[in-house]
Structure 1
């Protein structure tokens, strides 16, 4: 059975919306996009590289897959993220995408996220990494499918924006498997489901 490992950037007040760009995710009038800028350092790069060094496949929700596809699919810049993501097998869960031809090695999973990902998780293959894709993460958490969470906890509050766990979530206990603080005050915490 494959494991599902999630990596998300989050504020102290639980906001996960619009980390990278001002226009990244403006749903519900969110105008604080780009809040994660200025927090990267060598410690964060090293920790993220550790995750990319393990073999595995990637799992995305539609919005994040489309955003990443636009940003990464045509790149040949030698960036370690490019070298990891483009050749990786990428599964995208969507009820609305016509196909997943826009990014090499992508496979479209149609239907309910909980059902299609449960089938994928039960099949033989590499572990699955989720970066972002908050709506998908919520669905997978509600279905009891998440195994590990890596949270990059940024030292700021926003007061508004989409939270990681909005609405009902099942009681799930996690153990802290490790943590490291960056020079910019971001706490990178690795949790494993008990």
Structure 2
């Protein structure tokens, strides 16, 4: 059975929206986009590189997949993340996409995400890694489908923005399996569901 790992950057007050750049996600009038950039360092790159070294398939929500196309699909540099992102099999969960042809190696999972992913994890194949896609993570968490989390906990609060767990999240216990603190105070914590 395939496992699902979710990797998200989060603030101390739980915000996951708009990490990368000011225009990344302005829904709800969010004005703090790009909050994560100044926290990148070699420790974070090395830790994320370890995750990329594991052979996994990717799992995306529609919005994040579309955003990642602009960031990764046409890049040809020698960045190992570029190679990984473009070579990986990418499953995209969407109720509205007609196809997933816009990015190589992408496969559309139409319909209800929890139902389609529940079926996918029973099939033979590599484990699945979610990067971002907070709405998808919430849906899969509620359905008991997230096996582990890698949380990059940034030392700031924003006060506004989409939070990792908005509304009800079922009681789920996790074990902290490892953690690393970066030179800029980001705690990279790995949790596995008990």
What TM-score, normalized by structure 1, do the two folds share? 0.99
Deviates more, 1:142-151 or 1:68-77: 68-77
User: How many residues in Structure 1 have an aligned counterpart in Structure 2?
Assistant: 194
Query: Which residue matches 2:190?
Result: 190
Cα deviations by residue, 1:93-121 (Å, 9 ceiling, x for unpaired): 00111210010000000000000000001
Is the aligned partner of 1:30 residue 2:19? Answer: no
CA RMSD of aligned residues (A): 0.5
Is the aligned partner of 1:63 residue 2:63? Answer: yes
Q: Which aligned segments of 4 or more residues in structure 1 are displaced greater than 4 angstroms?
A: none
Distance 2:184 2:67 in 1: 26
What TM-score, normalized by structure 2, do the two folds share? 0.99
Query: Which residue matches 1:72?
Result: 72
Cα deviations by residue, 1:12-47 (Å, 9 ceiling, x for unpaired): 000000000101111111111000011011100000
Distance 1:149 1:157 in 2: 20
For structure 2, which runs of at least 5 residues remain unmatched after alignment? none
Give secondary structure in 2 for the equivalent of 1:86.
Answer: helix
Distance 1:21 1:141 in 2: 26
Is the aligned partner of 1:7 residue 2:4? Answer: no
Cα deviations by residue, 1:65-84 (Å, 9 ceiling, x for unpaired): 00001111111101111010
Distance 2:114 2:148 in 1: 17
